[in-house]
Amino acid sequence: MLVLSRKLGEKIYIGDNVCITVVDIDRGKIRLGIEAPRDVPIYREELLPLKNAEAGAPGASTVAH
Summarised one tens digit per residue, pLDDT across range 13-64 is 999 999 999 999 999 999 999 999 999 999 898 888 666 676 665 544 444 4
What pairs with residue 14 in β-bridges?
18
Count CA atoms within 13 Å of residue 48 on its CB side: 5
pLDDT band at 1 (very low <50, low <70, confident <90, very high): very high
Q: 0.85 exceeded by the pTM?
A: no
According to the model, what pLDDT value does residue 48 have? Answer: 83
Q: What is the three-class DSSP state of 48?
A: helix
